[in-house]
């Protein structure tokens, strides 16, 4: 399990970490946003001899083409297996940078400095790495742990409200699947003005506890995918469109749809479903789409990684704070849940 460092001074903590670890070469991977807004926070505390790779911001660049450019950069810079990579950015950077590090010469060490709320509470834990392929989310990937994860709320100040809200969807999910009291403490009104340090630490502890029990997602870890089967389908469908959904926006849709299925299949009460739906709609609003797009959106669920053969496997709520996995669903039931969302 990786070392997670909650940092009050990320630049100094990074300098101390690097001083206490040997490496032949240091590389930093950023996107164009984090290069501009986040790299200056740590730059003066880095060793003079480091090299950097920056790629265009956005999920649409999380693909094998960008990976090839990163591998070429590592090759051109003569990285060996004693090198160290720092992934400075959100989930796209951590996923793709970690994937490239884990596969280059069969693996070089990397550390993650997540800069978005989403990557701090979700992608920072568990060692899932990967890239999108042929329009499918995280279709190609591996499990590999970073050497360390440094989490600092200072980076949240660089985020637009929409990005902060995207991360909040995963925070809400953590309460829904594992801790009803945590869910009950989360704000709907004025949600952006909360004690983020406290929230990040609590969400990380929830996810870490699940991942430690099931590192490779053979069972319990599947509960972390609540909202993701249908959410990823929406995210994938609109990935290359001008109506691109942020991850959390798509997962909010997925959680409403899958809460509806939880009433049908796993015993969630209608009153709790309504509580969940009201919170998510208050924070995220309603995403509008054409009824005729529903079959194409739902068809993307067939590529979900939890599926076995032609059976769609869902992780569903039995009540707020409790989630179970391996509930099977038909495509018709998924369509019904999406139609329910549309009707709200």
- Kindly write down the DSSP assignment for every residue of 109-176, as one continuous string: EEEEEE-SHHIIIIITSS-EEEEEETTEEEEEEEE---SEEEE-GGGGGGS-HHHHHHHHHHHHHHHH
Specify whether the CB–CB gap between 70 and 97 falls below 8 A: yes
Phi and psi torsions of 110, nearest 5°: -145, 155
Helices (H), 160-223: 161-178, 180-185, 196-213
10 Å CB burial of residue 219 (0-12, 13-18, 19+) is exposed
Structure confidence at residue 306 (pLDDT): 62
Query: The tokens of 207 are what?
Result: 């996810």
Tell me if the pTM is above 0.85. Answer: yes
The strand pair at 3-6 and 148-151 is best described as parallel
Q: Which residues contact 25 (CB under 8 A, 6 or more apart)?
A: 49, 51, 77, 78, 79, 80, 82, 83, 84
Closest by CA to 52, choosing from 88, 15, 2, is: 88
Structure confidence at residue 310 (pLDDT): 64
The strand pair at 26-31 and 84-89 is best described as parallel
Structure confidence at residue 178 (pLDDT): 97
Determine the 3-state secondary structure of 217 from DSSP.
coil
Structure confidence at residue 231 (pLDDT): 96
The span from the CA of 129 to the CA of 154, in Å, is 24
pLDDT along the chain (344 residues), means of 10: 84 94 96 95 89 93 96 97 96 95 96 95 84 88 93 92 96 98 95 93 94 90 95 92 92 98 98 98 97 94 68 93 95 96 97
């Amino acid at each position: 399990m990786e070392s997670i460092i909650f940092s009050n001074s990320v630049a100094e903590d990074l300098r101390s970490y690097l001083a206490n670890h040997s490496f032949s070469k240091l590389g930093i991977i950023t996107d164009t946003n984090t290069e501009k807004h986040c790299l200056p926070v740590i730059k003066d505390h880095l060793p003079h001899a480091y090299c950097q790779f920056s790629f265009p911001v956005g999920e649409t660049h999380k693909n094998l083409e960008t990976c090839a450019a990163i591998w070429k950069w590592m090759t051109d810079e003569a990285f060996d297996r004693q090198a160290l990579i720092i992934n400075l950015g959100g989930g796209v950077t951590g996923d793709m940078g970690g994937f490239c590090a884990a596969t280059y010469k069969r693996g070089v060490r990397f550390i993650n400095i997540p800069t978005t709320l989403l990557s701090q509470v979700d992608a920072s834990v568990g060692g899932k790495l990967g890239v999108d392929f042929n329009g499918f989310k995280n279709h190609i990937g591996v499990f590999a742990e970073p050497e360390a994860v440094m989490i600092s709320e200072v980076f949240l100040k660089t985020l637009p409200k929409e990005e902060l809200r995207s991360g909040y969807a995963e925070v809400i999910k953590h309460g829904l699947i594992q801790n009803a009291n945590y869910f009950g403490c989360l704000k709907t009104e004025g949600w952006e003005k909360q004690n983020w340090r406290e929230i990040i630490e609590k969400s990380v502890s929830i996810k870490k506890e699940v991942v430690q029990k099931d590192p490779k997602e053979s069972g319990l870890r599947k509960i972390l995918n609540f909202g993701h089967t249908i959410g990823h389908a929406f995210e994938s469908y609109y990935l290359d469109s001008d109506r691109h959904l942020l991850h959390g926006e798509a997962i909010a849709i997925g959680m409403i749809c899958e809460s509806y299925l939880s009433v049908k299949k796993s015993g969630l009460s209608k009153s709790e479903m309504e509580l969940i739906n009201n919170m998510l709609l208050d924070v995220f609003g309603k995403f509008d789409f054409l009824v005729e797009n529903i079959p194409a959106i739902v068809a993307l669920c067939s590529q979900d990684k939890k599926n076995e053969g032609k059976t769609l496997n869902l992780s569903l709520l039995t009540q707020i704070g409790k989630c179970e996995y391996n509930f099977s669903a038909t495509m018709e039931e998924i369509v019904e849940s999406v139609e329910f969302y549309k009707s709200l």
